[in-house]
């Protein structure tokens, strides 16, 4: 009898824990749809934010015979929650699997809203980073600590706005930022509960879903999600529609890792930022850019130029026809990364 009582108590505790996990997070209020779903192949969607809620990175989702797989879950518990709500307008099948392409805040900070029975898959490095102090790193800290000033600035602009439409737009931006900050306050970085180092393949009915590590690049543990039958690849920030953040990157290895991506047979790319695309030349453009960033910044360092100065001077304007480059300069966080990699070299 005692044992039965214990089993029931444990069962109830598990239920309470699961319920707590699925409580609606703060900051989910928004007007209109938060996502635009772009169905690139039957059952394969790219989810891009509309601006009514802070989501930052893109996600993708795959509707299978019996379940749904989500790739990346955005910048906050609120954004992931709303994604799940909007997925319900497409299918009532349950999300049983989440894949993190990498550990960065705009791709993995929704992990905590999932029930513990949901499989969250990522590279071993992604797990390690989400278990360590990834939110103490400058990339996220700069983002988070900038928010209160952003809110104050928007309030001032609203107070002095005279045009009705402009004022309404600013008010939306304010609501979006305040909601994001409210959700960040509830953040509990949650690591993948299934990891891989090289490749893991899921089979769902007729679908084959390969999760592949192709070498270091954007981080030490980015994975791509490759559907060989549908010829679709989800690339996170390993390959975006434009430029990627370099804060944790290996710019001297990235282009070679992208060569491994080129060997896969696909016709559609769903990137972590920007729209889905089919033009594979974008890979060549980014490879050329990243190789030149490494060469140019290394050259400046060798001349004794400070990272701050190199960030202004590094000239990559020859890539401006294919990438959003207005003038000389490379983001400081990327230059600092290259400087520290060069310092590490024996
Ligand atoms: Zn990103």
In percent, the amount of the chain with pLDDT more than 90 equals 92
Q: What is the pLDDT of residues 156-210, one digit of tens each?
A: 999 999 999 999 999 999 999 999 999 999 999 999 999 999 999 999 999 999 9
- For position 317, what pLDDT does the model report? 96
Euclidean distance between CA atoms 249 and 127, whole angstroms: 17
Separation CA 76–CA 28 (nearest Å): 10
Does 19 have pLDDT greater than 70? no
Average pLDDT over residues 322-336: 95
282-321: per-residue pLDDT in tens? 999 999 999 999 999 999 999 999 999 999 999 999 999 9
The residue-averaged pLDDT of 85-108 equals: 98
Ligand 1: centre distance to CA 49 (Å): 13
Whole-number Å distance, alpha carbon 108 to ligand 1 midpoint, is 9
Mean pLDDT for all residues in the chain: 94
CA 151 – CA 34 distance, rounded (Å): 20
CB of 57 within 8 A of CB of 273?
yes
pLDDT bracket for residue 20 (50, 70, 90)? very low
Give me ligand 1 centre to Cα 271, in Å.
9
pLDDT value of residue 133: 86
The Å distance, Cα 302 to ligand 1 centre, comes to: 30
**Terminal Cα distance for the chain, rounded:** 67
**Ligand 1 center to 57 CA (angstroms):** 5
pLDDT over threshold 50, residue 31: yes
pLDDT of residue 22: 62
What value does the mean pLDDT take over residues 54-73?
98
What was the pLDDT predicted at 327? 94
User: Which runs of E-coded beta strand occur in 148-251?
Assistant: 194-196, 199-204, 207-213, 223-227, 232-236
Beta bridge partners of 324: none
Q: Which residues pair with 224 in a beta bridge?
A: 212
Q: What is the pLDDT of residue 2?
A: 55
Q: From ligand 1's centre to the CA of 70, what distance in Å?
A: 16
Strands across the sheet containing 35-41: 35-41, 44-49, 59-63, 68-71, 95-99, 119-123, 194-196
Alpha carbons 320 and 297: distance in angstroms, whole number: 17
CA 27 to chain centre: 19
Predicted confidence (pLDDT) per residue in 99-120, tens digit: 999 999 999 999 999 999 999 9
- Residue 344 near residue 252 (C-beta atoms within 8 A): no
pLDDT tens for residues 118-136? Answer: 999 999 999 999 999 899 9
Dihedral angle computed from the Cα positions of residues 167, 172, 174 and 180, in that order, rounded to the nearest 10 degrees: -170
pLDDT score at 7: 57
**Residue tagged 């990438």 (tokens):** 323
Centroid of ligand 1 to alpha carbon of 273 (angstroms): 6
- Rounded mean pLDDT of 234-250? 97
Integer angstrom CA distances of residue 258 from 68, 148, 164: 28, 38, 47
Q: Residues of the chain with pLDDT > 70: what percent?
A: 93
Backbone dihedral angles phi then psi of residue 28, each to the nearest 5 degrees: -90, -5
Q: How many residues does the chain have?
A: 346
Q: What's the Cα-to-Cα distance from 215 to each of 1, 91, 249, 264, 341, rounded to whole Å?
A: 56, 35, 11, 14, 17
For residue 88, report the distance from its CA to the centre of ligand 1, in Å: 24
105 Cα to the center of ligand 1, angstroms? 8
| Residue bearing tokens 């202004």 | 312
């Amino acid at each position: 009898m005692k044992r039965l009582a214990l089993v029931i108590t444990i069962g109830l505790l598990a239920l309470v824990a699961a319920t707590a996990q699925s409580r609606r997070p703060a900051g989910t209020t928004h007007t209109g749809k938060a996502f635009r779903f772009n169905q690139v192949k039957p059952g394969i969607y790219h989810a891009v934010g509309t601006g009514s809620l802070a989501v930052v990175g893109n996600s993708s989702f795959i509707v299978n015979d019996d379940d749904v797989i989500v790739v990346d879950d955005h910048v906050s518990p609120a954004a992931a929650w709303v994604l799940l709500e909007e997925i319900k307008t497409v299918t009532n099948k349950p999300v049983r699997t989440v894949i993190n392409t990498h550990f960065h805040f705009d791709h993995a900070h929704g992990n905590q809203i999932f029930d513990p029975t949901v499989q969250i898959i990522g590279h071993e490095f992604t797990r390690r980073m989400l278990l360590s102090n990834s939110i103490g790193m400058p990339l996220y800290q700069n983002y988070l600590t900038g928010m209160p000033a952003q809110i104050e600035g928007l309030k001032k602009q609203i107070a002095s706005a005279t045009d009705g439409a402009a004022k309404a737009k600013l008010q939306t931006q304010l609501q979006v930022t305040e909601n994001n900050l409210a959700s960040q306050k509830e953040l509990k970085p949650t690591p993948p509960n299934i990891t891989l180092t090289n490749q893991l393949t899921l089979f769902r009915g007729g679908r084959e879903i390969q999760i592949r590590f192709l070498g270091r690049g954007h981080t030490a543990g980015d994975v791509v999600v490759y559907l060989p039958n549908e010829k679709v690849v989800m690339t996170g920030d390993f390959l975006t529609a434009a430029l990627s953040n370099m804060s944790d990157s290996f710019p001297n290895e990235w282009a070679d890792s992208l060569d491994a991506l080129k060997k896969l047979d696909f016709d559609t790319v769903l990137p972590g930022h920007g729209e889905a695309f089919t033009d594979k030349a974008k890979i060549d453009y980014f490879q050329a850019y990243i190789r030149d960033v490494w060469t140019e910044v290394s050259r400046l360092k060798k001349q004794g130029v400070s990272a701050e100065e190199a960030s202004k001077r590094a000239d990559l304007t020859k890539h401006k026809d294919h990438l959003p480059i207005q003038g000389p300069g490379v983001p400081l966080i990327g230059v600092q990364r290259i400087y520290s990699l060069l310092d590490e070299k024996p």
